[in-house]
Every structure is written in C-alpha cells, then in structure tokens.
Chain A
Amino acid sequence: DTGVSQDPRHKITKRGQNVTFRCDPISEHNRLYWYRQTLGQGPEFLTYFQNEAQLEKSRLLSDRFSAERPKGSFSTLEIQRTEQGDSAMYLCASSSETGRTGELFFGEGSRLTVL
C-alpha cells in the first residue's frame, strides 16, 4: 500500500498533556499538508511543507502546535499542553508538483479527544 498513512488513528488524552501525530506521505510526493477538521466542518489548513521546508503556517495556529518534516519524508505534528478545543480530526495529505492536477491525497486521519 503506497497511500498516505497516519498514526495513531485515535488518541485520547487528558487536558494539559502533549500529543504527537505522525504522517507518512506517498513516497514520491514532495509536498505535505496538515489540516484540522471538526465535526460538520471542512478541513482547516494548519501548515504545509515542500520537502523539509515549512513554507506556510496558519496564523490561527497557536504556538502550542509545531510540525516538522526533518528529512523531507515523514512529518510529525505535536500539540503541547492540549486543551479541550483541540479535539478534532487531524488530517495529513500529500501531493506531487509534477502531476497535472496536483490533487491532495489524504490519509485516514488521527482523531484526537481531549478530556
């Protein structure tokens, strides 16, 4: 299977704890994106990478959120001192700059519940 994979699929944590999500994109894709989706809403852009460079980060994103893609392959999204409002589905997607359409390929998401 060469799709986008995310881990863990589900995470339940207590308020104030740190959590980390991992995303493995499609291997030949150089762009990687993180989105947050709450129930009944569309995906909200968080940040994206081209290779290892983080090119844009949402201004809505708190300093508690940080993302890395150290070798231009997999990426991690860390949330420090979680709050109940962080409960959401965190979606990772990747794309290739060489394709005609450049559509995003999404993983199945990591669902976070903060108690």
Chain B
Amino acid sequence: AQKITQTQPGMFVQEKEAVTLDCTYDTSDPSYGLFWYKQPSSGEMIFLIYQGSYDQQNATEGRYSLNFQKARKSANLVISASQLGDSAMYFCAMREGSSGTYKYIFGTGTRLKVLA
C-alpha cells in the first residue's frame, strides 16, 4: 500500500508568492517522522524540513513551513515568497520508528516551477 501520496504532479507559482505542496501519508505507527526534500535539476537531494509525530507545533525553517494536520494525516509544505531558485522537484517522505526499523518511504514528487 502506498504510504506517501503527492497528488500534484506539477505546480506553477508566481515569483514572490506563496505556494503549498500537498502530502498525505498513511501509517498505524504512533511514532513517525515526516520530511521534505528538494531535488533541483542538478539531481542532489536537499533536506528542507522535518516534523515529528509528537511535535506540538508546526515546523518552520526560514521560508519553509510544514502544515501538519495529524488527524487528517497530511503534511503540506508551504514555501513563502517563492524565488526562481525554488524551481525543482519536491519530495515528501516518511520514516516509521516504533518497529525498530528506520526505512524512509518517498512520494512520487511535485515539480514546482516559479514564474518570473
């Protein structure tokens, strides 16, 4: 069963605007971590932000914030004040922790294009 779902294959946003990239997940493990990664055309995977399942507040890292809605099992990434350099693929990932294994599962990604 697919555990990470990213329903937006592609998104456009105007420079300086905010954009939300959707991610839903499925797990029965009470302990898990959610991650967002950016993959520019050059190919490297860049870690952006982390949210733990027990974290009370939504994570923020500079222009990135994570809209964590635990009951709905969603972990949307919000990028504020988009820049041309934000154009890339974005992947949501989950790590389950209680089972003693630490496997990370990735979604299929969303390609973001920032327009000048």
Contacts and interface: CB of A to CB of B under 8 A. Distances in A.
Interface of A: 31, 33, 35, 40-45, 48, 50, 55-56, 89, 91, 93, 95, 97, 101-106, 108-109
A4 to B, nearest CB: 10
Q: Is the interface of B mostly helix, strand, loop or mixed?
A: strand
B10 to A, nearest CB: 10
Q: Is the interface of A mostly helix, strand, loop or mixed?
A: strand
Interface residues of B, number: 22
Contacts of A33: 104
Contacts of A35: 106
Interface stretch (B11-19, B41-49, B73-81): B41-49
Given A42-B4, A108-B44, 14 more contacts: A31-B102, A42-B106, A42-B107, A43-B91, A43-B106, A45-B103, A45-B106, A56-B101, A97-B102, A101-B33, A101-B50, A102-B102, A103-B50, A106-B45
